[in-house]
């Protein structure tokens, strides 16, 4: 992968290709930034809180997950409209990974800000048609939220547990039955981070500390990897005119000064073309 954008994020996350704007967005969670590039060059929107993930509502409006709520944000006017509280009673938590499902819902995970408090402190929620419902409590570091092309399966991970699960969804996008293990990496050096599915149903998962995005077939078997030029690969997305461009955010969080000096590209966004064909990100139903 090559460098798409030279700006460095402390914790790059929330990779999103907006299908109407044909524009790539990502977040620097720790610094409260939403970043992008358009025809005029690099853009940045600064928030007074940590922001982590988004889905598109219209050409100009995103649904964004902040520390304490979900809110609408107009990219042109910068107007903010709060939607619903998100663990507002837990000020030591923040949002993390999130993605829209095929039915128009928005899944979002929460976690503790302090590493020493993260064990079991978070959860995964779904926002759909005005309702926010907790789906999976007791998650330490929620990640890898993505969905099969037909919308019948959801994937999600707990990075601390080194496990990706899958679960069946009903016609409205709500989980049914029990979750099943998709990938169990316990006892290895693999820590699943953000993920996205391609048009064939394969799961592409960025892996924290592994400098790669790994692809897995729907049965969980390993297919291939794409090397990323920084150790903490954090969140992939497919985009570009024909959805065959693979983007991946990275982070400097957790790296020593010596490690950053050895890899000055850590925290930048990387890109590769012709890897696989993705799917358009679904529109959220408010």
Query: Tens of pLDDT along 224-251?
Result: 999 999 999 999 999 999 999 999 999 9
Question: Residue 259 phi/psi, 5° resolution?
Answer: -65, -40
Q: Name residues whose C-beta falls within 8 Å of residue 141's C-beta, 6 or more positions apart in sequence.
A: 96, 111, 118, 122, 158, 159, 160
Which pLDDT score is estimated for 170?
Answer: 98
Tokens of 131: 């309702």
Question: First vs last Cα of the chain: how many Å apart?
Answer: 36
- Quote the pLDDT of residue 55: 98
Cα–Cα distance, 58 to 49 (Å, whole number): 23
Report the residue count for the chain: 286
**CA gap 286, 281 in Å, rounded:** 15
pLDDT tens digits, one per residue of 56-97: 999 999 999 999 999 999 999 999 999 999 999 999 999 999
- For residue 40, name the pLDDT band (cuts at 50, 70, 90): confident
DSSP annotation string for 110-140: EEESSGGG-TT-EEEEEEETTEEEEEEEEES
A 10 A CB-CB count for 14 gives 29
Across the chain, what does the average pLDDT equal?
97
Judged by DSSP in three states, 188 sits in coil
Residues designated as active site: 193
**Beta-ladder partners of 246:** 238, 272
**Structure pTM?**
0.97
- At residue 38, the pLDDT reads 81
Could you tell me what percent of the chain has a pLDDT over 70?
A: 100
For residue 113, pLDDT over 90 is answered with: yes
pLDDT band at 41 (very low <50, low <70, confident <90, very high): confident
* Structural domains of the chain, ranges and CATH numbers in brackets: 2-273 (2.120.10.30)
Q: Is 277 exposed, middle or buried (0-12, 13-18, 19+ CB in 10 A)?
A: middle
Span 252-279, average pLDDT: 97
Mean pLDDT to the nearest integer, 99-113: 98
């Amino acid at each position: 992968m090559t460098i798409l954008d030279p700006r460095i994020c402390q914790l790059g996350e929330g990779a999103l290709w907006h299908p109407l704007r044909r524009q790539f967005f990502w977040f620097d969670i720790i610094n409260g930034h939403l970043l992008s590039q358009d025809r005029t060059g690099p853009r940045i929107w600064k928030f007074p809180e940590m922001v982590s993930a988004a889905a598109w509502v219209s050409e100009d409006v995103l649904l964004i997950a902040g520390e304490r709520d979900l809110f609408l944000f107009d990219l042109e006017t910068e107007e903010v409209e709060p939607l619903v509280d998100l663990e507002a009673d837990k000020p030591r938590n923040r949002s993390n990974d999130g993605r829209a499902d095929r039915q128009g819902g928005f899944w979002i995970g929460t976690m503790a800000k302090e590493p020493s408090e993260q064990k079991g402190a978070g959860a995964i929620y779904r926002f759909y048609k005005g309702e926010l419902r907790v789906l999976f409590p007791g998650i330490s570091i929620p990640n890898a939220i993505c969905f099969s092309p037909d919308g019948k399966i959801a994937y999600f991970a707990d990075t601390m547990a080194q496990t990706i699960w899958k679960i069946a969804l009903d016609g409205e996008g709500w989980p049914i039955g029990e979750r099943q293990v998709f990938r169990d990496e316990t006892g290895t050096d693999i820590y699943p981070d953000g993920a996205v599915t391609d048009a064939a149903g394969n799961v592409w998962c960025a892996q924290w500390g592994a400098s790669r995005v790994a692809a897995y077939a729907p049965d969980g078997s390993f297919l291939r990897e794409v090397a990323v030029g920084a150790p903490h690969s954090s969140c992939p997305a497919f985009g570009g005119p024909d959805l065959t461009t693979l983007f991946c955010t990275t982070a400097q969080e957790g790296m020593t000064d010596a490690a950053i000096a050895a890899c000055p590209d850590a925290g930048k966004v990387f890109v590769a073309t012709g890897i696989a064909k993705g799917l358009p990100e679904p529109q959220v139903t408010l």
